[in-house]
Amino acid sequence: MILASGSTVRDVAGIKEEKAALRARLLAARARLSAGQRTEAGRAIRDALLERPEVQMAGTIAAYYSVGAEPDTRGLVYALWKRGSYVLLPVLRPGGDLDWASYEGPDSLVPGPRGLREPGEPPRGVDAVARADAVLVPALAVDRAGNRLGRGGGSYDRALARVGPLVPLIALVYDDELIDHVPADRHDVPVRAAVSPLAGITVLAGGEVLARGDDPPEPPRLGGPIPPGPPCRTPCGIPGPPPRLGMISSRRSRVLI
């Protein structure tokens, strides 16, 4: 049987099996990391991202709150918010798609499904990610072509398909998770860069236009600007971020190196 993409059912089954085997190996390696190693990796990734001009210029950043053995992003999310960026975090819908809501400090998070921590703010809709100026993506592995291995649910592939071609899609991985080959099929959306603790930012095949600084026509934003959310809730004794002069930056980030 031939699928519309030209792949056979056997090809698709083989890719699925290859992904499952790679995913199991990577998850086992992550499980051997100590809490200190995950925290240290998170700090290095945070510092590398905060120095990048495309992150510094981004008015709205779609990020995620790490769970389990993922590189720790809690400090990164907090630093972006304190700096005045408008930070969106995913809210998992029952069907597996991702809605998005604003992060308003650590106290704004509530327990979500599958052990996730999610914003308690009103959801902005699944298309809110299309209005972000940079998107930070969880990954178990990434290859030089930008192929990304996730958890297998397809939630991020659906979300990333809504993002325009000029927006940096940056996967966060450990150093040994930037590998030579990640199996991919036609539903998988490649990322444009990866960031790891020692290597910092690595521009991938999908980020070449961004790296060159070319300026193709900017795709239209969907639905207009994101409306401001409710007043910030901050931890006791910790001041909130500086006043935001705008939720969306004046231009797309497009320089990765």
CB-CB contact of 188 with 147 (8 Å)? yes
One-letter identity of residue 20: A
In order along its 257 residues, the chain shows pLDDT tens digits of: 334 444 454 587 888 899 999 999 999 999 999 999 999 999 999 999 999 999 999 999 999 999 999 999 999 999 999 999 999 999 999 888 999 999 999 999 998 887 889 999 999 999 999 999 999 999 999 999 999 999 888 899 999 999 999 999 999 999 999 999 999 988 889 999 999 999 999 999 866 545 554 443 344 444 445 555 555 444 444 444 444 433 434 334 444 43
pTM reported for the whole predicted model: 0.78
Separation between Cα atoms, residue 57 and residue 51, nearest integer Å: 11
What are the structure tokens assigned to 139, written together?
């990954």
Beta strands in 74-123 (DSSP E): 86-92, 98-102, 109-111, 117-119
- What is the topology classification, in CATH, of domain 9-212? Rossmann fold (3.40.50)
Separation between Cα atoms, residue 39 and residue 78, nearest integer Å: 14
CB-CB contact of 81 with 105 (8 Å)? yes
| Annotated domain spans of the chain | 9-212
Contacts of 206 (CB under 8 A, 6+ apart): 145, 146, 169, 190, 191, 192
